[in-house]
Amino acid sequence: MLLLALAITQGLGLVLLTDERNRAVRAALGLEAAGRAANVVLLLDSAPADLRPSILRAADSPLVRFEVDPEPEAPHTSAEGDTVLRQIRQILGEPQRDVRADVHALPVTSLPMPDGMPATMRPMHEAMMAGRTDPIELTLSIRLAGGDWLNVRTMFHRPSLQLTPQALVPVLLMAVAVALVAWWTARRVVGPMRALAIGADRLGRGLEADPLPLAGPSEVQETTQAFNRMKDRLTRFVNERTHMLAALSHDLRSPLTAMRLRIEMLDETEDSVRLKALVEEMQAMVEATLEFARGVAKAEPASVVDLAALLGDLVCDVGGDRATLAQSPPLPVAVRAHALNRALRNLIDNAVRYGGEATVTLTQAPGMAVINIADKGPGLPADQLEAVFEPFVRLEVSRSRDTGGVGLGLAIARTIIQAHGGTVTLRNRPEGGVEAVVTLPTGEA
């Protein structure tokens, strides 16, 4: 943008300077003709009448013609002729003398050779006028002392635009200077902003990251400082929550274990069996809730694993003969193996439990690994495909632990996968059943 602005301003400046140069040259040519005409008038006024033809022949040149006529050839004075008039009256010393000056453009594409031009000067004149199509004619009419008029006609051109290397050097130096300054400024801004974007992405994926260094302009440094403070507050909040949940886990397990032991010591009756089932359900809910709240994907360091082999082991362990894995080549990725294992186990287990069987495929897209887990169940209502990822949401209304958990499996799976920088979505298949689509980045987790 800076270079574009520089090119526009330099172009406008060149046009303005060229116009000023043209005006200056035209004024100089007009004043030169005015000076010659005024001197000829002085000679004609003071010389005898028989010497006038000799004076006019001496004053004539190939580009300026002098004639004495009873009538003026200049009908009026044009706006551009004021300077010429002042010059003539100043030389003559007679402010009241009748002088007319007409400056106008000639509507021709090429000028004829001036009358009387020697043959030896014609090639030089043609070369000088080559490519010029805007001739200017100056006509002067000055009243002589005897009442006749001296008519002067001269023609000239606006000078052509001349771009010499010397004229372009300053522009090129300025362009190079602007480009260097823009490059240096962009690096100062873009580098820290890119580091900030990477840091924000790592923080969003739950990865440990060192505080970002302060670099760049003051505004970028203030933004980086605000990000570092936010990261520290989030880290402190997560650590405090983890410690609180660890203490809560211990405090909740103890009374539940004591209740279970006391129930075991009771005689087996219908009430004791029901109480025992309720305590076990409460204990399972507490464990699942605490596991979800801790963010299981954040406590484990990342390692490189073969995603195809991991899926193969899960299909054998979870599905048995009711789950299959399509043949796929090894695909090493950096993940938190145990956490990802739990997330994919939940998805495959849901497909087997609610859809009868699961078909798992692994494909690779640019920078991403794509896992499809499809079942052959009845499918889900379209408005529930996203709602089932919310904690404690179960579409199985009986709430029995024999037909489902506490409604945290999909929530835990999404939490873990999103912590890896991936996504998980559900969609109904045209041929029936639900398909879970998991994407994971194949780069650093």
At residue 153, the pLDDT reads 85
In this predicted structure, the answer to whether residue 439 has a pLDDT above a threshold of 90 is: yes
At residue 372, the pLDDT reads 94
Superfamily classification of domain 298-441: Histidine kinase-like ATPase, C-terminal domain (3.30.565.10)
Determine the Cα–Cα distance for residues 374 and 364; give it in Å rounded to an integer.
Answer: 17
Give the contacts of 42 (CB within 8 A, at least 6 positions apart).
91, 92
234-290 tens-digit pLDDT: 878 877 776 776 677 667 777 888 888 888 888 888 888 888 888 887 777 777 666
Query: How, if at all, do strands 423-428 and 323-325 pair?
Result: unpaired
The pair of three-digit structure tokens given for residue 287, joined into one six-digit string? 């464990």
Give residue 20's pLDDT band: very low, low, confident or very high (50, 70, 90).
Answer: low
* Mean pLDDT of all residues in 121-144: 68
In this predicted structure, the answer to whether residue 74 has a pLDDT above a threshold of 60 is: yes
Q: CB of 179 within 8 A of CB of 7?
A: no
Bigger pLDDT: 127 vs 325? 325
At residue 15, the pLDDT reads 67
Q: What class, spelled out in words, does domain 2-106+132-162 have in CATH?
A: alpha beta
* Mean pLDDT of all residues in 141-155: 86
At residue 297, the pLDDT reads 43
Determine the Cα–Cα distance for residues 385 and 61; give it in Å rounded to an integer.
Answer: 98
* Mean pLDDT of all residues in 131-160: 75
Side by side, the strands of the sheet bearing 434-441 are: 323-325, 358-365, 368-375, 434-441, 423-428
Is pTM beyond 0.75? Reply is no
Domain with CATH 1.10.287.130 in the chain: 179-294
353-407 tens-digit pLDDT: 888 889 999 999 888 999 999 998 888 888 888 888 887 666 554 444 454 555 6
The torsion region of residue 206 among left (phi > 0), alpha (psi -120 to 50) and beta comes to left
At residue 398, the pLDDT reads 44
Residue identified by tokens 């840091």 is 199
Over pLDDT 70: what percentage of the chain?
76
* Mean pLDDT of all residues in 41-53: 86
Bigger pLDDT: 139 vs 126? 139
Determine the Cα–Cα distance for residues 270 and 280; give it in Å rounded to an integer.
Answer: 16
At residue 205, the pLDDT reads 61
Q: What is the 3-state secondary structure (H, E, C) of 37-63?
A: HHHHHHHHHHCCHHHHHHHHHHHCCCC
At residue 414, the pLDDT reads 87
* Mean pLDDT of all residues in 335-348: 88
Question: What is the residue type of 426?
Answer: L
At residue 401, the pLDDT reads 47
Domain with CATH 3.30.450 in the chain: 2-106+132-162
In this predicted structure, the answer to whether residue 431 has a pLDDT above a threshold of 80 is: yes
At residue 21, the pLDDT reads 57
Which listed CATH number (1.10.287.130, 3.20.20.70, 3.40.640.10, 1.10.357.10) goes with 179-294?
A: 1.10.287.130
- Lowest mean pLDDT, pick from 86-95, 109-118, 366-375: 109-118
* Mean pLDDT of all residues in 26-53: 80
In this predicted structure, the answer to whether residue 223 has a pLDDT above a threshold of 60 is: yes
The pair of three-digit structure tokens given for residue 388, joined into one six-digit string? 């089932």
